[in-house]
């Protein structure tokens, strides 16, 4: 069997799993041929090696909108590129949030997947950025804008897109459907065929695709090929858990959804050797882990439990729940890894800590975030009640104090959070507003009335550069502290995303873990005081090997007595390594 024949055989099997309950006008063989042709996979091309890691300790991702920084007389994407070249040389990858024409949700209601929003720039700006850094792009695969040409054709009943959207009957059993919003699930829409009720997982401007129609899969395959050609290296499958819907079920995490992801990975990894698929599935932790498959589904999954757990740890001064969770997390096998983050363009989700944090712990966390100026977004739970879904707050504001209130340790606590995240197994992603120490944007919140706007500030480049040039500004201090940690991290083999990790037991005020490089030459003990009081770290409990010389990578000092007790100031982190 030739390589192409083997690939088509695999695709046929995957298509059979996806469409087994759907009547098709094309055979699986014909569909497989179409998909391979679109992706331009030819005989003699690249054959992926199973369990390959397309990442290393050098990989750190900055998460940003294309217009998070703007300047007069310059396209925002060009401004972003200049800013990264000037201030973020230590970061080798960028996730530019949806840069396409859109109608709502700050880009996630896409009008046209094939175009760059002309308010940001054009494809040449995208490819220019991709020539200097790994580029992550969103594949907004669950839904598109109601203003898209496809949906307008759905209304007219003709043309491309007229059969791309999922509809249901008002008398269908939809009682079990899991959703992240409180709006009505079905949108009544008057079409050439009469009134139809369009499924809308998120908002009524975000109309859900019907993947039972293989033309939708074909369309997204074309989109993927275009993005690869433009230099996109990492695909973030947005809200993909909701992709397949069946009335009478929860319509989340269905087997067909998992198989679609496996098929897309098959196509992508045969088309480009180092391309990566990341699933964005803001769901309970045990469900999220299933998207690894058997190293044949997502290369990376978002570590959604980390943000609320880490924030909770730092405002309570106890790492009990964080440590329990970390000990329960399976090491990612080769070919997969975690995508770690503690802040993003969205809020801090609470569903990922269901079953991890006690309800009173969640209630206290929510109350503290409100105390620090945050907003709380809700969803409709399975029993029909509104339930807190996410906390909307800038990370630097979220960490300005503890459950006791605000204090003087905000910057140290904020830096500690990133030191912990940067040391963990996985690839770190850092929101640009965390790098810049951006605070809650109440003006934007008032203008949009959308809670998520509180953490989506838009900086004037001249003003921002002025603040960063002032060593006494909080913004300059934050950027200096985080870029220092990133620079150290990216030079340590023991911080490889798949390097060994073990949790240390040092009490509830010291959160620690041990990393070991894959060649076993380097060990790093990552230990943080997560409390607002000085804590003694008994070095003897680490069992440091006496024949090695040990260093704290962060302060650059040699540890002369490995049996001594070291005092850790509130929120201080040490990275103790046998390799300087």
Which residues are known to be catalytic?
A: 238
3-class DSSP state of 5: helix
Task: Name the token pair of 538.
Answer: 């008994």
Closest C-alpha among 55, 52, 50 to residue 426 = 55
Q: How many CB atoms neighbour CB 381 within 10 A?
A: 14
- Looking at residue 115, the DSSP 8-state letter turns out to be S
Nearest to 483 by CA among 415, 426, 568: 415
Beta bridge partners of 378: 388
The tokens describing 107, both together, are: 């880009």
Total length of the chain:
580
Residue keyed to tokens 């019907």: 210
What is the torsion angle, in degrees rounded to the nearest 10, for the CA atoms of residue 242, residue 248, residue 250 and residue 256?
Answer: -50
- The torsion angles phi and psi of 112, rounded to 5 degrees, stand at -145, 110
The Cα-based distances of 346 to 128, 139, 424, 430, 451 in angstroms read 27, 16, 22, 13, 9
Q: Determine the Cα–Cα distance for residues 63 and 431; give it in Å rounded to an integer.
A: 5
> 380, 179 in Cβ contact below 8 A?
yes
Phi/psi at 342 (5° precision): -130, 0
Cβ-contact 178, 250 below 8 angstroms: yes
Query: What single DSSP character describes residue 404?
Result: T
Gap between the Cα atoms of 515 and 502, Å rounded: 7
Interatomic CA distance for residues 474 and 311, integer angstroms: 20
Q: Is 279 left (phi over 0), alpha (psi -120 to 50) or beta?
A: beta
DSSP 127-194: HHHHTTSEEEEEEE-SEEETTSHHHHHHHHT-STTTT-B-EE-TTS--TT---S-SS-SEEEEEETTE
Instruction: Give CA–CA dist 58/71, Å, rounded.
Output: 30
Give 56: exposed, middle or buried? Use CB within 10 Å, 0-12, 13-18, 19+.
middle
Q: 440 CB contacts (<8 Å, ≥6 apart)?
A: 373, 374, 393, 394, 397, 454, 455
């Amino acid at each position: 069997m030739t390589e192409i024949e083997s690939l088509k055989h695999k695709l046929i099997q995957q298509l059979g799993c996806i469409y087994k309950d759907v009547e098709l006008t094309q055979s699986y063989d014909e569909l497989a041929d179409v998909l391979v042709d679109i992706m331009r996979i030819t005989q003699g091309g690249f054959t992926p090696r199973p369990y390959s890691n397309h990442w290393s300790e050098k990989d750190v991702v900055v998460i940003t909108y294309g217009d998070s920084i703007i300047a007069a007389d310059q396209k925002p994407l060009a401004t972003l590129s200049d800013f990264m070249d000037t201030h973020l040389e230590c970061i080798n990858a960028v996730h530019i949030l949806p840069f396409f024409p859109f109608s709502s949700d700050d880009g996630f209601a896409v009008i046209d997947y094939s175009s760059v929003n002309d308010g940001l720039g054009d494809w040449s700006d995208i490819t220019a950025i991709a020539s200097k850094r790994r580029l992550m792009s969103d594949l907004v695969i669950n839904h598109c804008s109601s203003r898209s040409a496809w949906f307008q054709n759905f209304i007219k009943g003709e043309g491309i897109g007229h059969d791309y959207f999922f509809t249901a009957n008002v008398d269908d059993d939809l009682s079990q459907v899991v959703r992240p919003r409180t709006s009505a699930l079905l949108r009544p829409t008057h079409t050439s065929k009469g009134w139809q009720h369009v499924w809308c997982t998120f908002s009524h401007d975000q109309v859900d695709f019907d993947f039972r129609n293989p033309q939708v899969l074909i369309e997204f395959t074309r989109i993927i090929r275009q993005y690869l050609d433009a230099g996109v290296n990492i695909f973030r499958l947005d809200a993909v858990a909701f992709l397949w819907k069946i009335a009478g079920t929860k319509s989340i995490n269905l087997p067909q959804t998992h198989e679609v992801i496996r098929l897309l990975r098959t196509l992508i990894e045969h088309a480009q050797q180092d391309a990566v698929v990341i699933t964005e599935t803001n769901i309970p932790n045990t469900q999220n882990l299933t998207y690894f498959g058997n190293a044949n589904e997502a290369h990376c999954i978002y570590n959604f439990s980390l943000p609320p757990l880490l924030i909770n740890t730092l405002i309570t001064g106890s790492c009990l729940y964080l440590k329990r969770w970390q000990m329960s997390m399976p090491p990612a096998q080769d070919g997969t890894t975690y995508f770690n983050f503690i802040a993003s363009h969205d809020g801090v989700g609470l569903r990922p800590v269901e079953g991890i944090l006690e309800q009173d712990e969640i209630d206290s966390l929510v109350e503290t975030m409100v105390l620090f100026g945050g907003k709380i977004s809700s969803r409709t739970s399975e029993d029909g009640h509104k339930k807190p879904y996410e906390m909307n707050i800038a990370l630097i504001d979220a960490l300005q104090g503890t459950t006791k209130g605000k204090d003087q340790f905000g910057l140290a606590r904020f830096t500690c959070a990133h030191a912990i995240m940067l040391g963990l197994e996985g690839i770190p992603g850092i929101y640009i507003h965390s790098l810049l120490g951006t605070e809650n944007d109440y003006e934007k919140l008032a203008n949009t009335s959308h809670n998520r706007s509180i953490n989506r500030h838009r900086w004037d480049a001249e003003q921002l550069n002025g603040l960063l040039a002032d060593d006494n500004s909080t913004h300059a201090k934050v950027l200096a502290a985080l870029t220092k940690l990133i620079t150290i991290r990216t030079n340590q083999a023991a911080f490889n995303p798949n390097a060994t990790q073990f949790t240390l037991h040092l009490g509830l005020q010291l959160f620690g873990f041990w990393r070991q490089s894959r060649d076993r030459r380097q060990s790093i003990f990552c230990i943080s005081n997560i409390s607002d009081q000085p804590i003694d770290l008994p070095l003897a409990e680490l069992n440091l090997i006496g024949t090695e010389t040990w260093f704290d990578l962060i302060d650059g000092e040699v540890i002369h007595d490995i049996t001594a007790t070291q005092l850790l100031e509130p929120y201080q982190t040490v990275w103790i390594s046998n390799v300087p």
